[in-house]
Homo-oligomer: A and B are copies of this chain.
Amino acid sequence: MNVHSFFIVALLYNSAKMKSNLKSNSKRESLVKATIQLVNNNGFHATPMSKIAKMAGVSPGTIYLYFENKQDLVNQVYIEVKRSFTRFAFKDYKESTSVEGDFEKIWKNIAEFKLKEVEEALFLSQCDNTPMIDEPSRKEGLKHLSPLLELWKRGQKEGLIKQVSPYLLYAFSIYPISFLLQQHERFDIKPENINEAYEMAWNSIKI
């Protein structure tokens, strides 16, 4: 066997192995989506595994091929959504000379995510206000926020941002977006509201 054909054989072998190891990725995805939707509508404990399975078009037993149990399912979904959220928030972020410019970019990303990916954002909001996620997963979800914290520190050094705890900065500039999201059925957010809201966020934290 020459090098070339060996390469092909190895390739075939690998592709076969990967396929079987991954099980069916689409099933896992359906399960994740179904979980988000149903938990949003009914809450974690009012969502039976059987319903999740049905909505995902899968047998109840199949869930347990991808997740250890119900708690593990919701933990994994939480971490995944949180990751996709922070990825979006910092998607094009590169430290520039303007702290305010950087903050505006990140803030508007976060707002865009919460307003476009309503389902995912609602899910996060429920997870974060409820004892349904266990502590380790909660911590895992938090650690992706560091770029924002760094930015704030920089702003404080430069005398642009208030010398207060990051908890306060977060509470008044980021957390309010969640409220608007929750009210999206009562209060329809238009583009001009985004700018109004951004102004309010920046006013609350700037010196």
Q: Are A131 and B179 in contact (CB under 8 A)?
A: no
Compute how far the CA of A107 lies from the CA of B172 in the bound complex, rounded to whole angstroms: 14
Tell me the A36-54 residues at the B interface (CB within 8 Å).
Answer: 40-46
Chain B residues whose CB sits within 8 angstroms of the CB of A170 once the complex forms: 179
Q: Is A55 part of the binding interface, using a Cβ–Cβ cutoff of 8 Å?
A: no
In whole Å, how far is A64's beta carbon from the nearest beta carbon of chain B? 12
In which size bucket is the chain A interface? 35 or more
Whole-angstrom distance between the alpha carbons of A196 and B162 in the complex? 9
A81 CA to B201 CA in the complex, in Å?
30
Q: State which residues 187-207 of A face B: CB under 8 Å.
A: 187, 193, 196-197, 200-201, 203-205
Instruction: Bits for A153-195, please: 1 = Cβ < 8 Å to B, else 0.
Output: 0000000001011011011100111111011001100000100
Rounded to whole angstroms, the CA-CA distance of A9 and B178 in the bound complex is 56
Cα–Cα, bound, A193→B204 (Å): 14
Please indicate the chain B residues that have their CB under 8 angstroms from the CB of A46 in the complex.
Answer: 45, 131
Q: Which residues of B contact A201 (CB under 8 A)?
A: 172, 204
- What's the Cα separation between A132 and B164 when bound, in Å? 35
Residues of B within 8 A of A12 (CB): 9
- For residue A25, CB closer than 8 A to chain B, the reply is no
CB of A97 within 8 Å of the partner chain: no
Residue A2 lies at the interface, judged by CB distance under 8 Å to chain B: yes
Which positions 67-125 of chain A face chain B at CB distance < 8 Å?
125
- A residues with a Cβ closer than 8 A to B are 1-2, 4-6, 8-9, 12, 40-46, 125-126, 128-132, 162, 164-165, 167-168, 170-172, 175-180, 182-183, 186-187, 193, 196-197, 200-201, 203-205
Identify 6 new A-B residue pairs, CB closer than 8 A, beyond the known A167-B186, A168-B197, A171-B177: A129-B182, A167-B179, A168-B200, A172-B176, A172-B201, A175-B179
